[in-house]
Amino acid sequence: MTLPVQVGPATITINRDDRVVICQADGRIEADGDEGFFARDTRFISGYGLWINGRTPVLLNSSPVQFFSARFEFTNGVSIDEAGSIEPHSIAIRLDRSLGGGVHEDLDIVNYGRRAVRLTIEIAIESDFADIFDVKRHAIVRRGDLNSRWFRSRRELRTAYNNRDFHRELVVRVERADSPPQFANGRLVFVATIPAKGAWHTCVKWLPITSSGRRPTTLECNAVADAPVDIGAARLPRVSIDTPNETVRHAWAQAARDMEALRLEDPTFERGVFIPAGGVPWFMTLFGRDALIVSMQGITGYPEFAAGALRRLAGLQATEDDPERDMEPGKIPHEVRHGELAQLGILPYTPYYGTHDATSLYVIVLSYLYQWRGDKSILARYLPNVEAGMAWLDRYGDIDHDGFQEYRTRSSHGHYNQGWKDAWDAIPEADGSVAGVPLALCELQGYAYDAKLRLAAIYDVLDRPEDAERLRHEANALYERFNDAFWWESEGTYYLGLNGKKRPIQTVASNAGHCLSNGIARAGRAGCPPIAGRRHVVGLGNPDTLLGARRLQPVQLSHGHRLASRQRDDCGRVPALRVRG
């Protein structure tokens, strides 16, 4: 069976906090694509180009250096100056980009030729201040007013965007230039005479000004190869593993680096608390489900994730009812956005609450963190939040009061699907059609079951035996209902869910695997091959169908997204490993 995989053009992506730069391999940013410099869901730079004496330099090599930095090496092709032809490949051009609160560019040019050369260096920067959702759908809409001014004495190009209460500004500042900058025809222009064996340098800073109105700080010159700790980025605690398997060691180290790259910085949090973003590049913001699942999976090595997720999400837990945001009291949010469409109310992401499983996961993660740390003060701090979440499960999570957890959006811009597979067509019937709402997915029942048992255990610690017994009774009743209604005997797995007509969705899917982790799968059924994943397509997109099934989802890989290149289906084993903190 062939899976259609489309790989886009080669790009370089660097990021830090909610800032992302996506560019071509030669550093260019194409104005008509989905590249650019993004901060807080707004594209501050939509076009970038570099010219030397009217020609683009010849790219030799380029690569990210750290997650927040990249280097581009060029030379000259055929070119001339006032003295005649310049020897090809006699000029070395290095462009370094490092990302802090803004972007710091170091442009260094060295003349290895036998005579002095006169160079006109031009940098073009365009700004459209497009919302990230417009960029993703390749439909840029100018809703506000845009203007630019060049301040010669300050060596600054300031571009401002205003639309009602939404204000953003980009300041492009030239520093440490070996020749004075000019601004003409939409370009920064430097004229430099570089002697034989001589060098020329400038720094150019991209400073995005968001709702705070403050100018961000950038890194210093030559920070491209610095370690994260050297640039002020808090590092994850050092947790190593002992294993003779070198592949596993490298995978662990890379995973730790990737998690550092996904850290959202919050000035109100101490350095040891981490909040992970959803993913690079389009999801560099807080997602409830993603943050909580990372917290569960990383609890043994990095409980800081759980502490950060619980703390941040507690402040965003719903206290009111707002249908347009799929918001109900006690619900944990799905996604927070800060761009124009969200701030002006065109999209409901301030935050948006269209996820079902995040509320159950919040309860579960509190239990995980307590089990790891044994600190009863954590339970006291977040007990009101988990009790509000459990009240939401009982009152709103079961839409039709049939004893199962379901979802259905109430928003005109809401997500049709609100489980961990939230694409609009992610839950197919056997014939490939989209299942109707309200949808009761199998994993939602498992998460609710696990949440009830874990809150019961918390009540045991807090000496509330009656509440603990009540929740255990509710969990056991859900366990029996689920195993009676969801078990698909002929396939040896659980139905994907129940559709809006309460009929089983006869699609074998990896969702059933969640029922193993949350414990709702009945003993004796966990070893059935479909649940164990032996027949599943693993590693691309939503791994939701069996080999030979009627429906497979095409996958397009975007900038900076990474997939596992190899999966094992031979029940292979690796040597035992030990985790050391």
**CATH architecture of the region 13-230:** Distorted Sandwich (2.70)
Amino acid present at 46: S
Distances (CA, A) of 283 to 96, 197, 473, 555, 560: 25, 46, 39, 18, 11
CA distance 173 to 158: 9
Give me the pLDDT at residue 260, please: 84
The pLDDT assigned to 529 comes to: 60
In this predicted structure, what is the pLDDT of residue 562?
37
Strands 497-498 and 440-441: antiparallel
Report residue 455 CA to chain centroid gap: 29
Beta bridge partners of 105: 97, 204
CB-side neighbour CA atoms (13 Å) of 425: 10
CA–CA gap between residue 44 and residue 129 (Å, rounded)? 5
pLDDT score recorded for residue 239: 79
Using one digit for the tens of pLDDT, what is the confidence trace for 376-416? 999 999 999 999 999 999 999 999 999 999 999 999 999 99
Give span(s): CATH 2.70.98, the chain: 13-230
What is the Cα–Cα distance from 52 to 338, expressed in whole angstroms? 38
Tell me the Ramachandran region of residue 560: left when phi exceeds 0, alpha when psi lies from -120 to 50, beta otherwise: left
CA-derived radius of gyration, the chain: 27
DSSP H helical ranges for 353-464: 357-373, 376-392, 442-461
Residue 465, preceding peptide bond in cis (omega within 30° of 0): no
Asked: is 234-562 a CATH 3.40.50.300 domain? The reply is no
Residues of CATH 1.50.10.10 domain(s) within the chain? 234-562
Cβ neighbours of residue 24 under 8 Å, at least 6 residues apart? Answer: 9, 10, 11, 12, 30, 35
CA dist 408 and 129 (Å) reads: 33
Residues of the chain with pLDDT under 50: 534-550, 552-577, 579
Residue-level pLDDT at 230: 59
Please report the pLDDT score of residue 132 as a whole number.
96
Distance CA 459, CA 380 (A): 11
Beta bridge partners, 122, equal 51, 189
Please identify which residue in the block is written with the tokens 């691309």.
540
Structure tokens at 410: 């109430």
Give the whole-angstrom CA distance, residue 221 versus residue 176: 10
158 burial (CB, 10 Å; 0-12 / 13-18 / 19+) is middle
